[in-house]
Amino acid sequence: MQVSSLSSKVVLLAIITGGNAGELQANQTPFITPFEGEWIFVEDRTPGRALERVNPPMSSKFAMKIENNVLTLVSGHGSGQRDTKITLNGSHTDVPGATPGAYARYRATLLDGVLAYEVEFVRTEGGAPQNQIKREFRFTGEGLEVRSNLMLDEGVWSVALYKHPQDIALPVGAKATISQMGWLSGNWSGSRGANGAISMEERWSPAKGGSMLAISRTVSRERLSAFEYLRIVERDGTLVYIAQPNGLSPTEFILTELSGTRAVFENPRHDFPKKIVYELSPDGVLSTYVGYLKGGSPRRYEYQKEPAPTPQG
């Protein structure tokens, strides 16, 4: 992130004095604070947290900005609101809820280099505030440290490092050609949920022309609930997995591991998933895993290969 010389001095002055940068620059050109922009979860740094319990302290991706002594929660803060504006003076800001009499009450400060806000919710008219959420943001040389009173362990606040997407290094792709993914070709189907209520399928074309194509479909209670266009293509000596869930803009994942019938694709700049794994077991079960680069509880899906259709005539 580029910050002008003037902006850097103003932010530094605010941190040193414990004042507010917006107030210090009231009569000067607008600037970008270290808290501006979009942030992506990189690493859980909660003291003593077990690897399998790795979890971000808030959304895996969020954005915010500060202007004229006002904090704007652009997205990813879990309030159900976009562009929520909170005055940075410790006073209350009430945001109306979806039902009459309900609202979220925010309070935010920027002191001694720490941006902090808290929110509590009133569910019914005249009701008492409840479910207080607290978050603190501190800019470091590595990125943005986020602390939250989300506690997976008693008395221990959750802590994590976030970075701007462009500041996160992409992995070096493993050397491979599309022919090495031939084991994925075919029609695969599976189910999950109570009594197999949710059916899933992925239909992969043969490896040809430096590519494999697929379409994925999920049906829940006999209704289409999700679909996805998928590609694996050769690029610069490696393979790139390209996903378009529900026809949205494509997201690319770079091959980082390929061994026999297991392929791992990663994109640390994506919010979730950051890693996608395909693995074919000796008994013919295709498992897919999606999750973080390290730790957590990856989501797992299992598929069986459908038999080839019987020739007619």
Least confident residue range of 5-19, 74-88, 136-150: 5-19
pLDDT (mean) for 73-83: 83
Q: Is the pLDDT reported for residue 13 higher than 70?
A: no
Helix (H, G, I), strand (E, B) or coil at 115: strand
Task: Identify which of 136, 131, 82 has the alpha carbon closest to the alpha carbon of residue 105.
Answer: 131
| Mean of per-residue pLDDT scores for the chain | 88
Task: Report whether pLDDT(87) > 50.
Answer: yes
Q: Provide mean pLDDT across the span 42-69.
A: 95
Q: Give the pLDDT band (50/70/90) at residue 19.
A: very low
pLDDT in tens, 207-258: 999 999 999 999 998 999 999 999 999 999 999 999 999 989 999 999 999 9
Is residue 308 over pLDDT 80?
A: no
pLDDT at 213: 98
Report the pLDDT value the prediction gives residue 81, as an integer from 0 to 100. Answer: 66
Indicate the pLDDT class of residue 101, thresholds 50, 70 and 90: confident
- Of 232, 252, 92, nearest to 165 by C-alpha is 252
pLDDT at residue 313 in the model: 62
Helix H, strand E, coil C: the string for the chain is: CCCCHHHHHHHHHHHHHCCCHHHHCCCCCCCCCCCCEEEEEEEECCCCCCHHHCCCCCCCEEEEEEECCEEEEEECCCCCCCCEEEECCCCEEEEECCCCCCEEEEEEEEECCEEEEEEEEECCCCCCCEEEEEEEEEECCCCEEEEEEEEEECCEEEEEEEECHHHCCCCCCCCCCHHHHHHHCEEEEEEECHHHCEEEEEEECCCECCEEEEEEEEEECCEEEEEEEEEEEEECCEEEEEEEECCCCCEEEEEEEEECCEEEEECCCCCCCCEEEEEECCCCEEEEEEECCCCCCCEEEEEEECCCCCCCC
Domains of the chain: 5-166 (2.40.128.20), 178-305 (2.40.128.20)
Q: Which of 22-36, 93-107, 259-273 shows the highest mean pLDDT?
A: 259-273
Band of pLDDT at residue 80, cut at 50, 70 and 90: low
Confidence of residue 116 (pLDDT cuts 50, 70, 90): very high
Indicate whether 301 pLDDT > 90.
Answer: yes
Q: Percentage of the chain surpassing pLDDT 90?
A: 73
State residue 101 phi and psi, 5-degree precision.
85, -10
Of the ranges 80-84, 288-292, 297-301, which one carries the lowest mean pLDDT score? 80-84
Q: How confident is the model at residue 3 (pLDDT cuts 50, 70, 90)?
A: very low
Which tens digit of pLDDT belongs to each residue from 155-186?
999 999 999 999 999 999 999 999 999 999 99
Q: What is the pLDDT of residue 98?
A: 79
User: Taking Cα atoms as reference points, which of 200, 255, 216 lies closest to residue 232?
Assistant: 255
